Amino acid sequence: NDYCDCEMNINDCLGECGGLAETDECGMCDGPGIPDGECDCDGNIEDCSGECGGIAVEDDCGVCGGDGTSCLFATLYFGALSDNNLEVWLDSPLDVAGFQFEVSGITITGASGGSASDAGFTVSFSTTTVIGFSLTGTTIPASDGVLLNLTFDGVTGDEICLSAAVISDNLGNSITTEYGTC
């Protein structure tokens, strides 16, 4: 019943008996289909997250859908050093919800004061590591100032250095961190 001749050919979408024209994925007979670079028949393209026709774009930091803050960085560095006391300073363009860092070259015996104390952070330490965060959700405002003061027993190396820092914003995202000189 569907054949257009005795050789059992059928009409293609143009009505040609035995023709090769087919309907493309856009519903056009003998159409070109979805053009290269497009993701649907409406001419949309994929955004950076892979959503067809989506609106997400990369920010200046190269983060898809980012707000530009991921390329901002904090600097952790030393301030005054005297009588087994050492200031640790933090220069951050973003509010800080938590931090952890290591100090080599000294044996830490205490950690207190500074903006961590002002923000009500819980601060804990070992002989080499300091961690601070808020149990109530407060943050240390974006600023450049004394994060906390360390007390220590003697120098254990040639240099006193900061390393292995993890500083996070109020969403738990890591803030890229640089270090001052040892």
Using alpha carbons, select from 63, 35, 37 the residue that is nearest to residue 48. Answer: 63
Mean pLDDT computed over 49-62:
89
Q: Which residue in the block uniquely carries the two structure tokens 């050093």?
A: 81
* Span 67-89, pLDDT tens digits: 777 778 899 999 999 999 999 99
Alpha helices, DSSP H, located in the chain: 114-118
Both tokens of residue 182? 């040892």
Distance (Å, whole) CA 165 – CA 52: 39
Mean pLDDT computed over 14-32:
91
Using alpha carbons, select from 105, 102, 87 the residue that is nearest to residue 154. Answer: 105
Mean pLDDT: which of 16-20, 80-84, 147-151 is highest? 147-151
pTM value is 0.67
* Span 124-137, pLDDT tens digits: 999 999 999 999 99
Q: Indicate the residue type of 45.
A: I
Using alpha carbons, select from 67, 123, 120 the residue that is nearest to residue 99. Answer: 123
Three-state SS for 117? helix
* Span 166-180, pLDDT tens digits: 999 988 888 989 999
Distance (Å, whole) CA 131 – CA 121: 10
Compute φ and ψ for 70, nearest 5 degrees: -70, -15
Residue 1 has a pLDDT of 67
pLDDT greater than 80 at residue 2: no
Cross-strand pairs, 91: 75, 144
Residue 7 has a pLDDT of 83
